[in-house]
């Protein structure tokens, strides 16, 4: 979207002058089908990748091989062998490294060539490896040159041992940035999800790649539902969304005594589509009863996630996002777009930094 255009001629009440700063540059990353933010992105669930296994994956347009060494470490390397271009996922894990199927060259988990059987020694060659973490039941890859910070986390559980369940991966026919916006589209909570209270967000920059939007309202006293649940909320209704890299978002909501946490880990797919993985998180509780309690909490969290996803799904198959006429209720969306524009963009496929 062009942030410098679309300014209404005569703004009405509740209609925003757009943009807030007329000197704002054109959007160059938000909703761009070939660009994404340098960051951590989900690759695949951890559990199915056993020691000694290797798999091909294509993440953000780049072909990779992901493998687990004999000692249990996960490594991610560029897919194609520097000898003749065979896909390294056709090969096999060799102790703490990977051996190409075609002529059996071996690379260690740092990507260094350690054996070429035909020569009887290695050459000073290496393949590109990418930083990896296993976190919330998933394998994540760091996509940039900069030293990686910790992966996205639930703000309230930053220093807490957690329990996790994974939802069903999904594909949507729109950009991850556009899907992310849904969680801070204040007015659609009333029109789509029939919320009885008006949502108003305040935002807080958590770090240079993370921004959090939190609800500030209580209200809705005329609704029987609100009157029923109000005793469980000491202050405002708890609802917040913490974004990392513009395409992973953590929702926190629920009564004071039990917060639900849903991480929507999204990544850009081919042709500006979204490949998503929901993650349901709760703090670990001890003992058999704690384990059982958590199964119920994680199931409930999934139902909450489904409820929110259900009403909107059809929109994201057909939307051509273009915020031409922003209203006051859309202010958070503009702030999020601005936040995305302020981060380092990479090119889909090559993962090279976008400099202009």
Residue 312 is a binding residue for Fe ion (CB under 5 A): yes
Closest contact distance (angstroms) between CB of 316 and Fe ion is: 9
- Quote helix, strand, coil % in the chain, to nearest 5: 20, 30, 45
Q: Is 100 in the site for ligand FES (CB under 6 A)?
A: yes
Cβ(299)–Cβ(281) below 8 Å? no
Q: Are 64 and 129 in contact (CB under 8 A)?
A: no
CA nearest neighbour of 240 among 263, 209, 269, 272: 263
From the list 140, 122, 118, 121, the residue with the least C-alpha distance to 131 is 140
283 neighbors 160 (Cβ within 8 angstroms): yes
Q: How many residues make contact with ligand FES (CB under 6 A)? A: 8
- Residue 59 CB, shortest distance to ligand FES, in Å, is 21
Q: Which stretch binds Fe ion (CB under 5 A): 88-96, 105-113, 176-184, 266-274?
A: 176-184
Ordered alpha helix ranges (H), 217-286? 224-229
* Of residues 60-89, those binding ligand FES (CB under 6 A): 81, 83-84, 86
The yes or no reply on residue 103 touching ligand FES (CB under 6 A) is yes
Please identify, among the stretches 37-45, 102-110, 177-185, 195-203, the one whose residues bind ligand FES according to the rule CB under 6 A. 102-110
Contacting range for Fe ion; rule: CB under 5 A; set: 98-106, 305-313, 319-327, 343-351: 305-313
Q: Smallest gap, in angstroms, from Cβ of residue 69 to ligand FES? A: 19
Exactly one of 182, 250, 277, 332 binds Fe ion (CB under 5 A); that residue is: 182
Q: Are 107 and 127 in contact (CB under 8 A)?
A: yes
Q: What distance in Å separates the CA atoms of residue 146 and residue 38, rounded to the nearest whole number?
A: 9
Q: Shortest Cβ distance from residue 182 to Fe ion (Å)?
A: 5
Residue ranges in contact with ligand FES by CB under 6 A: 81, 83-84, 86, 100, 102-103, 105
């Amino acid at each position: 979207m062009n942030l410098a255009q679309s300014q209404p001629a005569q703004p009405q009440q509740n209609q925003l002058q757009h943009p807030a700063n007329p000197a704002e540059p054109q959007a160059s990353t938000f909703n761009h089908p070939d660009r994404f933010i340098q960051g951590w992105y989900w690759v695949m669930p951890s559990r199915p990748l056993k020691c000694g296994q290797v798999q091909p994956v294509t993440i953000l347009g780049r072909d990779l091989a992901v493998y687990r060494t004999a000692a249990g470490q996960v490594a991610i390397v560029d897919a194609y062998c520097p000898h003749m271009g065979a896909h390294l996922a056709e090969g096999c894990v060799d102790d703490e490294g990977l051996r190409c199927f075609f002529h059996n060259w071996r690379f260690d988990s740092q990507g260094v060539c350690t054996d070429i059987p035909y020569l009887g020694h290695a050459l000073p060659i290496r393949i590109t490896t990418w930083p990896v973490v296993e976190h919330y039941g998933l394998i994540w890859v760091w996509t940039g040159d900069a030293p990686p910070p910790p992966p996205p986390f639930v703000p309230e559980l930053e220093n807490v041992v957690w329990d996790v369940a994974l939802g069903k991966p999904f594909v949507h026919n729109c950009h991850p940035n556009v899907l992310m916006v849904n969680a801070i589209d204040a007015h659609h909570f009333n029109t789509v999800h029939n919320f009885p209270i008006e949502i108003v967000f305040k935002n807080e920059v958590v770090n240079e790649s993370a921004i959090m939007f939190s609800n500030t309202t209580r209200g809705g006293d005329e609704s029987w539902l609100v009157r029923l649940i109000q005793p469980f909320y000491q202050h405002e209704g708890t609802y917040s969304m913490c974004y990392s890299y513009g395409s992973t978002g953590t929702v926190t909501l629920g009564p004071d005594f039990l917060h639900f946490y849903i991480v929507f880990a999204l990544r850009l797919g081919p042709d500006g589509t979204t490949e998503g993985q929901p993650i349901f998180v709760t703090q670990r509780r001890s003992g058999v009863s704690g384990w059982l309690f958590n199964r119920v909490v994680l199931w409930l969290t999934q139902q909450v996630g489904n409820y929110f996803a259900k009403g909107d799904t059809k929109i994201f198959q057909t939307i051509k996002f273009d915020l031409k006429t922003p209203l006051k209720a859309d202010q958070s969306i503009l702030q999020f777009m601005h936040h995305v524009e302020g981060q380092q963009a990479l090119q889909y496929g090559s993962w090279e930094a976008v400099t202009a």
